[in-house]
Amino acid sequence: MTVTTITDAELVPKDYASDQEVRWCPGCGDYAILKAVQKALAELGAPRERTVFVSGIGCAARFPYYLSTYGFHTIHGRAPAIATGIKLANPELDVWVVTGDGDGLSIGGNHMLHVLRRNVDLQIILFNNEIYGLTKGQYSPTSRRGTRSPSTPQGSVEYPVSACAFALGAGARFVARAVDTQQPDVVALLKRAHAHRGASFVEVFQNCVVFNDGVFDHFTAKDVAPDTQLHVEHGKPLVFGPSEERGLRLTPGTLALEVVPVGDAGVPLHDILVHDETNRALAQLLVALEPPAFPVALGVLYCNPATSYERELYAQARAAGFGREPADLGALLGREGTWTVER
């Protein structure tokens, strides 16, 4: 007699695709991110029934329709609030928030601030294309000064917000950054974000082929990437360049980073800063690096876990009696100051 154990078939990326036709513009960076998310889910073996994607409004926000998990396409900027409610109702669910630079940092900036500060256990992916795509190309809060758009024909005069600096400032305990086309990195970061208990914030630089094409080319194009991207790794020196011949160190005498040559002709490797992802001050320096003087820092810039909001909340509630034997409603109503009228 043989015993057969039936296990769930292993899921592959296409198992996480819904039956809906994907309707982003051909060549949109969102396609690459969708593939990376499906791959990450497959590698995590994420149960579809316990996975929820929540989005706001914008091109990125169509994301849930293209996944075979549970999905909630909400309203502009409010996905973090609804995701918080889902997590409060059922902390066992694996909840992801998909947002954009306009959705997450403009109309929904307040919710983003507070969901990060509270440390609700969510994975938040912010697609940053520095433009409003769905509304036809207006400048966004991450657009650089001078961005010409239908609403800024002479160029924007606003200073942009840095998504990761905002997240750190809000108190996020997991902050990471990737480029849409670098799929293995995106997959790896999403898996790290998933492993992090608490709010994890992942910014993905995403190219909008229609309204802002090539806006990240100065550090994402193949020919310049090695010289303009710094891939950080915990415990490893902060070096970059085609043969890792440049590195970052603290400028002696001040709190600033500088790029120095590494090795025989330059600074010895042991003088180069080593990435410590638990160091918030270092993370703040890293997120501020910009070309041309500096490379763009990518990878897990900051990870310093603490108990998540909903766990703390439930611990308090349980201490107050939540989840034990159902409390007697009659006892609650007649708790104090009652009197009896006799027949």
45 vs 153 by CB, closer to other proteins:
45
144 vs 318 by CB, closer to other proteins:
318
The 110-149 site mask, x for binding other proteins (CB under 8 A), equals xx-xx-----------------------------------
Give CA–CA dist 226/295, Å, rounded: 9
Q: Is 90 one of the binding residues for other proteins (CB under 8 A)? A: yes
Q: Is 334 one of the binding residues for other proteins (CB under 8 A)? A: yes
Q: Is 74 one of the binding residues for other proteins (CB under 8 A)? A: yes
Residue type at 212?
Answer: N
Q: Is 330 one of the binding residues for other proteins (CB under 8 A)? A: yes
Give CA–CA dist 238/274, Å, rounded: 6
Q: Is 82 one of the binding residues for other proteins (CB under 8 A)? A: yes
> Could you count the other beta carbons within 10 Å of the beta carbon of residue 193?
23
Interacting residue with other proteins among 1, 3, 255, 329 (CB under 8 A): 329
- Beta-bridge partner residues of 176: 202, 300
150 vs 334 by CB, closer to other proteins:
334
Binding region for other proteins (CB under 8 A) out of 32-40, 109-117, 215-223, 242-250:
109-117
Nearest to 255 by CA among 233, 279, 219, 234: 279
Q: Is 333 one of the binding residues for other proteins (CB under 8 A)? A: yes
Helix, coil or strand: residue 328? coil
Distance, CA of 104 to chain centre: 10
Q: Is 54 one of the binding residues for other proteins (CB under 8 A)? A: yes
Residue type at 340?
Answer: T
Give CA–CA dist 149/238, Å, rounded: 37
Give CA–CA dist 23/65, Å, rounded: 10
Distance, CA of 317 to chain centre: 29
The Cβ-side half-sphere exposure at 45, using a 13 Å CA radius, reads 4
The 14-53 site mask, x for binding other proteins (CB under 8 A), equals ----x-x--------------------------xxxx-x-
User: Least distance in Å: CB of 91 to other proteins?
Assistant: 10
Phi, psi of 262 (to 5 degrees): -110, 145
Q: Is 64 one of the binding residues for other proteins (CB under 8 A)? A: yes
Helix, coil or strand: residue 309? helix
Binding region for other proteins (CB under 8 A) out of 75-83, 149-157, 167-175, 298-306:
75-83
Give CA torsion, residues 236, 240, 245, 250, to 10 deg. -70
Interacting residue with other proteins among 3, 9, 89, 255 (CB under 8 A): 89
Q: Is 264 one of the binding residues for other proteins (CB under 8 A)? A: no
Binding site for other proteins (CB under 8 A): 18, 20, 47-50, 52, 54, 57, 64-65, 67-75, 78, 80-90, 92-93, 110-111, 113-114, 313-314, 316-317, 320-324, 326-330, 332-334, 336-343
